[in-house]
Amino acid sequence: MKLSSQVTNNENVYDYIFSGLGASNSLIILSLLEDNLLLNKKIAIIEPSLKTINDKTYCFWAYPEDPIVIKLRSIIRHEYKNITINGGAQQDISTQPYYLIRSIDLYSLVSKRLENAKIPIFNCFVNEIVSSEDYYTLKTSNGSFKTQHIFNSVISKHETSDIEEICLHQSFYGLRVKCNTAQFQESTFEMMNFNIDQNNYTQFLYTLPYSDKEALIELTRFGNEKVEIDYAKKLLLEQLNIKLGCYEILDEEIGCIPMTTYLHKPSVYKGVLNTGIHANLIKPSTGYGFKNMFLFAEMVKKEIMQNNVKNLNSISLTKKKRYRFYDTLLLIILLYWPKEGKKIFTKLFSSQHVNTIFSFLDEQTSIAQEINIFKSLPITPFLKSLVIYAQKKQLLRYIATSIVLFAYFVISQYNQTIASYYSYSAIILGMFWVGIPHGALDHLTFSYNKKSLSKFIIKYLATILMYYFIWQILPFLSLLVFIIYSSFHFGESELQEIEIKVTSYTTYIKALIVGASILLFIIFTHIQESIDIIANINGLEFIKLNEEIIVKYAVPASVLAFFYLLLIAVYTNKTSVYKLLILLIVGAFTNLLIAFSIYFICQHSLNAWSHLKHQLKVNSTRLYKKALPHTIGAFVILIVCILLNTHETNQINTLLPSFFIFLACISLPHFVFMHLFYNPK
């Protein structure tokens, strides 16, 4: 590959810059050159590698009339019309053959076309992309390049995946061997042969014949650890010695493909299009991505033809969500029960026609076909995987809430008293499970030592005490203050859940309105009970006198609040807002205490718990340990609050106002610390 002279001018401005020249950018360039879309444009390609060796072998299945086959025909090295799996019988795939392209042939083709088009390749590393008023600047090991449009296949070192995401590797070690005698069938490849040591992973051999005497044979591992080269080499050589007898090693291929549920985010810069792995084009459960990259390249070409380059970062291949769900289930199995991989793949290939499997992996099957596929697979690992999936997606809380509520509705049909005791027990459990502990972690939201911790606790308790006294003197003002800060706190936590940081005036107002909508919806859908509780607080009895007027506004206010939240759900298209709406609706059919607890425990506290877990990078067990002393402290305050505020402690209508004041008092400092935690600056 020819390289241009070094960059001397820091002010170099280009129409398009391609950062990296691997599979994805090569396919995009070929596609754009094909329709002369790079003609009369100033282009720079930045790629550190000289691309003189064959570092990868790209394979894919396709119909002979598919554009990928037609357009890349000149570099397709092999076409397999038959397949074997797990040492089984040969199956005919001539309607949808398996094609092989050597990466070196792709690089040679693209570099020849670039040379013809007089487009230079700069042999340097991209270090970072910086945005300025007019241009993006690519800072490289060899100077800076400026442009308004970047095709970026280089993954930033700073990009970290979420700890909840599954990150496995498809790692492999392969040898290209030549035998003295015919050992292979040139048009038959073996996709997966699991008849080898599994070593507590999912491992198989993959055989791609180049002729009847020559083939690339790889040992592949799906697992959370990459296959060690020494181990792979030993195992592969053992197999080759058994299967082939006398052979010569021509070459080796080492590689690793990410198998992850992590989704790379589009670039924050409108003019920067992430490509390849970076554009989530690798299928998590298989590691295949070449065909997707070709489709993506065609899509990019279409957008550029229509001059849609202003929002380059928004170009993406649309994917059906259910396939992501299937991929995640399989990755969970491969992570937690790796031995099951062999059983699942063996069953899949023995029960389904290979063309159906290809369509399934291409995400082109119908739901009926998918049901048929899943029916044929071992059910237990998928059920276990489903539980972990529900846990990871935070669905367990909704399942648990549904079960608890269902039981409540059933019990209340027969006996109201038992139903009440049941609901109080569930609420107390929920409060001690996460409601109070999530607030008992405020000391973790800043760095502290023993001395500063004592100071913190004293200040924290003093604030609670002070607010408690204000409640006694100015209850109405305290109530208003409580509604305002708890609205903000609830709203901020909801916005955090949908990745909106509360840092500007508009987001402050948004947080306030979102939280107020939640709170007011709960209050207004239980207006009579709310008035009774508030009017039971000393000094707030007058609320009862205005009951008629307040009740008149209850329905329009709750409808308005609900529609505002619905608007947020539709506008952001975030499932967590829809889940919130469902919880609020369900709550409307229960009493006030249950409705508030459903929101407070199942949505607010659990969300905050997961925010703390992620941001502090601490697991739940450690969080519980850290929260324990403060949870006990909160419990003591609750008891004191009840004793101070109730005359007949066995009466629930006198307990509820105390509980209300308790929540208000302990949540005042909590709202401040959570805000500082969400916005550390």
Ligand X SMILES: Cc1cc2nc3c(=O)[nH]c(=O)nc-3n(C[C@H](O)[C@H](O)[C@H](O)COP(=O)(O)OP(=O)(O)OC[C@H]3O[C@@H](n4cnc5c(N)ncnc54)[C@H](O)[C@@H]3O)c2cc1C
Contact residues: ligand X, CB under 6 A: 19-25, 46-49, 56-60, 125-126, 153-154, 255, 257, 276-277, 282, 287-290
Nearest distance from C-beta of residue 58 to ligand X, angstroms:
5
Residue whose C-beta lies closest to ligand X: 22
Q: Which is nearer to ligand X, 168 or 664 (CB)?
A: 168
Nearest distance from C-beta of residue 26 to ligand X, angstroms:
7
CA 562 – CA 581 distance, rounded (Å): 8
Run of H or E residues at 232:
helix 229-244
Q: Which is nearer to ligand X, 21 or 638 (CB)?
A: 21
Q: Which is nearer to ligand X, 275 or 346 (CB)?
A: 275
The torsion angles phi and psi of 137, rounded to 5 degrees, stand at: -110, 125
- What strand order describes the sheet that includes 202-209? 91-92, 82-84, 188-193, 202-209, 214-223, 167-179, 247-260
Q: How many CB atoms lie within 10 A of CB 651?
A: 11
Q: Which is nearer to ligand X, 267 or 607 (CB)?
A: 267
Q: Which is nearer to ligand X, 59 or 444 (CB)?
A: 59
CA 609 – CA 620 distance, rounded (Å): 8
Q: Which is nearer to ligand X, 222 or 490 (CB)?
A: 222
**Three-state DSSP string of 22-59:** CHHHHHHHHHHHHCCCCCCCCEEEECCCCCCCCCCEEE
Token pair, residue 22, equals: 């691997």
Nearest distance from C-beta of residue 20 to ligand X, angstroms:
3
CA 428 – CA 635 distance, rounded (Å): 11
Nearest distance from C-beta of residue 7 to ligand X, angstroms:
13
Kind of pairing, strands 98-102 and 57-61? antiparallel
Token pair, residue 258, equals: 């990410």
CA 466 and chain centroid, separation: 43
CA 152 – CA 25 distance, rounded (Å): 8
Q: Which is nearer to ligand X, 257 or 606 (CB)?
A: 257
Q: Are 208 and 56 in contact (CB under 8 A)?
A: no
Q: Which is nearer to ligand X, 282 or 348 (CB)?
A: 282
Nearest distance from C-beta of residue 591 to ligand X, angstroms:
55
Q: How many CB atoms lie within 10 A of CB 370?
A: 15
Nearest distance from C-beta of residue 253 to ligand X, angstroms:
6
CA-atom Rg of the chain in angstroms: 31
Q: Which is nearer to ligand X, 20 or 120 (CB)?
A: 20
